[in-house]
Amino acid sequence: MSLRRDPLSYMQRQHRLYGPIVRLGSGRHAAHLLAHPDYADHVLRKHHRNYSRRTRSAHAVRLVTGESLLTNSAELWLKHRLLLQPAFQQHSVSEHLPLIVAQTAKMLDAWERAMHAPLDVAAEMMHLTFAIAGEAFFGIDVETHASAVEALLPAILEELFARSTSMFPPRRTSRRFDEARRELDAIIDAALARPAGNMVSALLHARDEQNNAVLTEAERRGEALALLLAGHETTANALAWTFYLLASAPEIERALLDEVMHRTPDELPKLQLLNAVVDETLRLYPPIWIVERDAIADDEIGGYHIARGSIVYISPYVLHRDPAFWNEPERFDPHRFLPADKRPAYLPFGAGPHHCIGAHFALLESRVILMMVLQRYSLRLATRKSIAPQPWITLRPRGGVPMHIATR
């Protein structure tokens, strides 16, 4: 078992053997796994200024987005974060509800014609969340452009993943990557050229008092790509895992169905079990399974010396499955989140100034999609094998989630 081959099991084992701070690697490439909520808080919140995003994975993302919310932690990041934040507050996000409902209904209609063979629910969710993010944030014409962008993404993501996990990434990017990147830029530029009526696009085009654009054209494009990259695969995987977990827990599924039947998305805050099911899935399968930072200056955490230049890892996956904080951590039990405030070591959306800007959007979207799917279809796993998590850029279900669907 090694960090490279099976990082989830490896980190969990090292944590079990050596406790809340584990040194991984040595010499110039020393890294530490911090597996205690206080240490996560130290790095991500209390002393965040000492822990930068100048990491290998951010460097890879920079090839696509340039300096963006996903890669920067300095002044530029703050400027962009403050600029975009209004579009992602709860009340702004709820304006996207009709769009989420309409896109989901369209997918569910299409499922009527797909009932004879197992459906890969993970792929379906990827397609749906991409269409929603594209239209909600940038008014990308879903019919014409979404599939083109979706076809380009694998080339981009594969290069990103290879580079963020390689010690010695090649200097040049692949031709496939360069071509995909150029086409993607053209589509984004076209979408950004018509910002009318869309809050995210409008904010990206904001001007200051002297009527100067706040962002340059390249920054605008970079942030748009960052939001598209960060804003769909994460939620898609969370949903795919939810259907997987529910299919193996019929009692919970029945109780959930009782709760959501005949309800509308306006009633979401009242639907406690629905919210708890989403929260519990994000505990067991946090789409962002690892967060990486680079120590700017020497520091001490839990009596342990953290040398300047070393990498620290915080893994929501490891924290969320730590028996010191969770009773029977491997068990899918949404009731642990009822009442909703018991969250000892829980950070699916990160923490501190870089916590996920899209958390409200992601939660709204996941809850609405889950509710609408359940109201109309029953889903059964089309495989007897358990589905393993694949720790890619996000935590994917390996091989997808094949399911038989039937109308209720």
Q: Which is nearer to ligand HEM, 54 or 81 (CB)?
A: 81
Q: Which of 362, 370, 374, 379 binds ligand HEM (CB under 6 A)?
A: 362
Q: Which is nearer to ligand HEM, 177 or 241 (CB)?
A: 241
Q: Considering only residues 66 through 95, tell me which ones interact with ligand HEM, judged by CB under 6 A.
A: 69-70, 81, 88
Q: Kindly state the smallest distance separating residue 27's Cβ from ligand HEM, in Å.
A: 25
Establish if 287 lies at the interface with ligand HEM (CB under 6 A). yes
The answer to whether the CB of 287 falls within 8 A of the CB of 363 is no
> 29: which residues sit within 8 A by CB, 6+ positions away?
167, 311
Q: Kindly state the smallest distance separating residue 287's Cβ from ligand HEM, in Å.
A: 4
CA distance 203 to 356: 18
Establish if 230 lies at the interface with ligand HEM (CB under 6 A). yes
CB-side exposure of 149: number of CA atoms within 13 Å? 28
The answer to whether the CB of 159 falls within 8 A of the CB of 175 is no
Q: Considering only residues 11 through 70, tell me which ones interact with ligand HEM, judged by CB under 6 A.
A: 69-70
Establish if 188 lies at the interface with ligand HEM (CB under 6 A). no
Q: Which is nearer to ligand HEM, 160 or 227 (CB)?
A: 227
Establish if 226 lies at the interface with ligand HEM (CB under 6 A). yes
Establish if 275 lies at the interface with ligand HEM (CB under 6 A). no
Establish if 160 lies at the interface with ligand HEM (CB under 6 A). no
CA distance 308 to 294: 8
CA distance 391 to 393: 7
Q: Which is nearer to ligand HEM, 21 or 238 (CB)?
A: 238
The answer to whether the CB of 114 falls within 8 A of the CB of 378 is no
Q: Kindly state the smallest distance separating residue 187's Cβ from ligand HEM, in Å.
A: 18
Strand partners, 305: 300
Q: Which of 238, 271, 345, 368 binds ligand HEM (CB under 6 A)?
A: 238
Tokens linked to 243: 């259907």
DSSP code at position 86 = G
Tokens linked to 191: 């979408």
Tokens linked to 203: 């904010």
CA distance 42 to 40: 5
Q: Which of 21, 157, 224, 227 binds ligand HEM (CB under 6 A)?
A: 227
The Cα angle at residue 123 between residues 118 and 129, in degrees rounded to 5: 135
Q: Which is nearer to ligand HEM, 238 or 240 (CB)?
A: 238
Establish if 231 lies at the interface with ligand HEM (CB under 6 A). yes
* H or E stretch at 61: helix 56-65
Q: Kindly state the smallest distance separating residue 354's Cβ from ligand HEM, in Å.
A: 3
Q: Kindly state the smallest distance separating residue 361's Cβ from ligand HEM, in Å.
A: 5
Q: Kindly state the smallest distance separating residue 291's Cβ from ligand HEM, in Å.
A: 5
Q: Which of 361, 364, 367, 368 binds ligand HEM (CB under 6 A)?
A: 361
Q: Which is nearer to ligand HEM, 20 or 222 (CB)?
A: 222
* H or E stretch at 355: none
Number of residues that bind ligand HEM (CB under 6 A): 25
Q: Which is nearer to ligand HEM, 137 or 377 (CB)?
A: 137
CA distance 228 to 263: 30
Establish if 234 lies at the interface with ligand HEM (CB under 6 A). yes
State which amino acid sits at residue 119.
L
Would strands 299-301 and 119-120 be described as parallel, antiparallel, or unpaired? unpaired
Please identify, among the stretches 159-167, 253-261, 282-290, 373-381, the one whose residues bind ligand HEM according to the rule CB under 6 A: 282-290
CA distance 189 to 106: 27
| Residue of 101, 161, 153 whose CA lies nearest to 127 | 153
Establish if 379 lies at the interface with ligand HEM (CB under 6 A). no
Q: Which is nearer to ligand HEM, 70 or 372 (CB)?
A: 70
Establish if 367 lies at the interface with ligand HEM (CB under 6 A). no
Q: Which residue has the tokens 């120590």?
A: 295
Establish if 235 lies at the interface with ligand HEM (CB under 6 A). yes
Establish if 288 lies at the interface with ligand HEM (CB under 6 A). yes
Q: Which is nearer to ligand HEM, 78 or 115 (CB)?
A: 78
Q: Which residues bind ligand HEM (CB under 6 A)?
A: 69-70, 81, 88, 226-227, 230-231, 234-235, 238, 286-288, 291, 348-350, 354-358, 361-362
